A and B are shown apart, each in its own frame.
Chain A
Amino acid sequence: MTAMIDITDAKKTFTMHLQGGIELPVVRGVTFQVNPGECVVLSGPSGAGKSSILKMIFGNYRCDSGRIGIRHRGALIDLATAEPRQVLNVRRATIGYVSQFLRAVPRVATIDVVAEPLIVNGMARAEAQQRAGNLLHRLNIPERLWQLPPATFSGGEQQRVNIARGFISDLPILLLDEPTASLDAANRAVVVELIAEKKRQGVAMVAIVHDDEIRHLIADRIVDVTSFAAAA
């Protein structure tokens, strides 16, 4: 099978120039693949570099060395060396990222925050809003909130808006950073269901989840990040 994500020997170190140039090794030798329809869960204690790996796959953190191979429109692109424009195209058409927190844009209504990724990719506003409404509905965000900007919502509500925004597109790769962290049992179950649907659609996923029960429900394979621990 052709992997959607193919990471080889990726390494990341932070150099803290304001702290006398100390080097903070994060990970090295990161090597794994993710196939279509598969959900790989990264495991390891806090600080092991799980989020950093996710950010490297999204092109948000740069790699010191190694390769972040992403299958984008049928061709393999190395995000570690790609031009900014290519990275943006990969994000628009191939990789979605559900971060832990919603970066709220002031004044934009919740329904539009969720629909935006579809509109950017050319879908008509009405259709995009319809799909956004369906997802918000499933995630138990009451309709009376849809026209309000999410900035004033509770943490759990904001996270569900964020999940809706992340799951709305039909992108072939999805990165999930603690998607269920501040959700109640009912909404956690909805997220597990959404992930199962994505698998059936052939989406390749990499997730960080601390909840053992959720991990058990969504993981096809576990990659232990401690094996990539950079020798300090």
Chain B
Amino acid sequence: MADLDMLDNDEPLLVANSLSKSYGRIAACRDVSFSLYSGEVLAIVGESGSGKSTLLQLLSGQLAPSGGHVSYRMRDGVSRDLATLGEAERRFLFRTDWGFVHQDPAQGLRMAVSAGANVGERLMAVGWNHYGRIRDTASDWLTRVEIDVARIDDAPRTYSGGMRQRLQIARNLVTEPRLVFMDEPTGGLDVSVQARLLDLLRSLVAELHLAVVIVTHDLAVARLLSHRVMVMKGGRVIETGLTDQVLDDPREPYTQLLVSSILPP
């Protein structure tokens, strides 16, 4: 974080090159290209149906593109095309170097096992086997996401929506991933719960120097968390730039419409 010159020179972590996806005659995502660097937060904004979530699935290798490719710089420094990774390699990436925070925590958690096990499971997947250490690390992470450690043995189905979302974040970050995908992480939460979660995400992202691709339709979330935004409409990126540039000086008609639709706080 401190060494800015290194930031100037390093290689991108994730590169999307002319990514497209069509379902029959419907193009959900057309010709999307960008590079994402370590520590950089990119927000993808746009309304429902603009192709945001499809793009997120393409980037995280959950969906195969109809055209173009995605490459990721692995921990050994070598960039690999996601399409050439085997299923086992891809799953390993997902368990270690990547995180994925779903809008609905039930999709990212195992609702019937304890909170401690939800966090510990990711550690066991990367070879941790000392029960005491796993439990200690899980407790640490619950504290970091502001969950009372006394609740460690309770299953997330007994948690509130905000707590579930914070638990999902702990589960994702415990393996110290370098890249985290987030799909509307604050969607469906009360406004006060949202503010707390955003604040927590903001500090964790900075502390851990995470690269993040976050899909949101909420421009306030984009402003608070992201360095750069891509505005999508009809599967295309119609405007991109520094977050404050795009939100304070929007150029495209659609972006101006989105920005002007925000209710004043």
List chain A positions with a Cβ less than 8 A from chain B: 14-18, 55, 59-62, 73, 84-89, 92-93, 105-108, 120-122
Contacts and interface: CB of A to CB of B under 8 A. Distances in A.
B76 interface: no
A16 B2 CA distance: 40
A20 to B, nearest CB: 11
B179 to A, nearest CB: 17
Given A18-B253, A59-B245, A122 B1 contact: yes
Contacts of B195: 106-107
B183 interface: no
B176 interface: no
B83 interface: no
B249 A105 contact: no
Contact of B199 (A18, A55, A108, A120): A108
Given A85-B40, A105-B199, A107-B196, A93 B242 contact: no
B262 interface: no
Interface string B185-218: 0000000000110110010001000000000000
B8 interface: yes
A55 B242 CA distance: 13
B67 interface: no
Given A15-B251, A107-B199, A108-B199, A84 B257 contact: no
A89 B4 CA distance: 7
B227 A89 contact: no
B7 A62 contact: no
A18 B244 contact: no
A62 B245 contact: yes
A60 B244 CA distance: 6
B249 A93 contact: no
Q: Which of the listed residues B4, B199, B206, B228 has the most CB atoms from chain A within 10 Å of its own CB?
A: B4
B2 A87 contact: no
Nearest to B253: A17
A129 B251 CA distance: 40
Contacts of B227: 84, 88
Interface residues of B, number: 30
Nearest to A17: B253
Given A17-B252, A89-B7, 10 more contacts: A17-B256, A17-B257, A62-B245, A62-B249, A73-B5, A85-B37, A89-B8, A106-B195, A106-B196, A120-B206
Nearest to A92: B4
A87 B252 contact: no
A88 B248 contact: no
A145 B242 CA distance: 33
Contacts of A16: 256
B49 interface: no
B66 interface: no
Contacts of B2: 121-122
A60 B3 CA distance: 24
A61 B245 contact: yes
B260 interface: yes
A121 B256 CA distance: 34
Nearest to A12: B249
Contact of A87 (B3, B202, B242, B256): B242
B150 to A, nearest CB: 23
Contacts of A14: 249
A18 B199 CA distance: 33
Given A107-B195, A121-B2, A60 B245 contact: yes
A86 B248 CA distance: 19
A105 B241 CA distance: 22
A88 B1 CA distance: 13
A107 B228 CA distance: 24
A93 to B, nearest CB: 6
A108 to B, nearest CB: 7
Nearest to B242: A84
29 contacts: A14-B249, A16-B256, A17-B252, A17-B256, A18-B253, A18-B257, A59-B245, A60-B242, A60-B245, A60-B249, A61-B245, A61-B248, A62-B241, A62-B249, A85-B8, A85-B37, A85-B40, A88-B227, A89-B4, A89-B8, A92-B4, A106-B196, A106-B199, A107-B195, A120-B1, A121-B2, A122-B1, A122-B2, A122-B3
A93 B4 contact: yes
A93 B7 CA distance: 12
B61 to A, nearest CB: 25
Nearest to B250: A17
Contacts of A86: 8
A105 B227 CA distance: 16
Contact of B228 (A84, A93, A108): A84
